[in-house]
């Protein structure tokens, strides 16, 4: 980032093609700095330069703070989100749900209802996979449980 020096600001303010009112409007619009109309051009230079320096220090402190925050957030242990498959297996381990009930619970957990969708395919795939591995059984009442 190129920084403005006093000479740069002085060259802008002392431009012969602009009147004082135009200079004040440009400074207000471009740099968001309010200055009085009754100041001399030298006073305007000092006013704009001091406001500019103050803004630079604020920007640098915000940058430094964001670096510290990002380093702290990167070092913090992140909780591992459970996959939908893990959620389904966990519910099956409880042994209290039929396939239809599993779909309803997973719809709530996974936010499927908010998106006007269903987890039927996902639940079906997990049940089919566990069935093919011989790990689960469906009881007469429709409940799905892990084999003992």
- The DSSP string of 46-71 is HHHHHHHHHHHHHHHHHHHHHHHHHH
**Mean of the per-residue pLDDT values of the chain:** 84
Give the phi and the psi of residue 110 in degrees, each rounded to 5.
-85, 0
Least confidently predicted of 55-59, 79-83, 115-119: 79-83
> pLDDT at residue 76 above 60?
no
Give the phi and the psi of residue 136 in degrees, each rounded to 5.
-125, 165
- Range 74-97 average pLDDT: 81
Q: What is the pLDDT of residue 125?
A: 95
Q: What is the pLDDT of residue 1?
A: 46
More confident residue, 75 or 111: 111
Half-sphere exposure at residue 12, Cβ-oriented, CA atoms within 13 angstroms: 18
DSSP secondary structure letter of residue 32: -
Rg of the chain over all Cα atoms, to the nearest angstrom: 33
């Amino acid at each position: 980032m190129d920084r403005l020096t006093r000479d740069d600001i002085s060259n802008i303010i002392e431009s012969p093609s602009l009147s004082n009112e135009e200079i004040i409007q440009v400074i207000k619009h471009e740099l968001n700095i309010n200055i009085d109309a009754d100041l001399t051009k030298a006073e305007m230079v000092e006013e704009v330069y001091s406001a500019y320096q103050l803004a630079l220090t604020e920007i640098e402190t915000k940058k430094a703070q964001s670096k510290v925050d990002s380093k702290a957030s990167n070092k913090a242990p992140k909780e591992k989100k459970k996959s939908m498959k893990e959620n389904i297996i966990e519910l099956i381990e409880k042994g209290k749900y039929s396939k239809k009930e599993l779909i309803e619970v997973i719809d709530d957990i996974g936010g499927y209802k908010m998106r006007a969708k269903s987890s039927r395919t996902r639940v079906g795939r997990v049940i089919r996979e566990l069935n093919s591995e011989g790990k689960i059984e469906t009881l007469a009442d429709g409940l799905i449980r892990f084999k003992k």
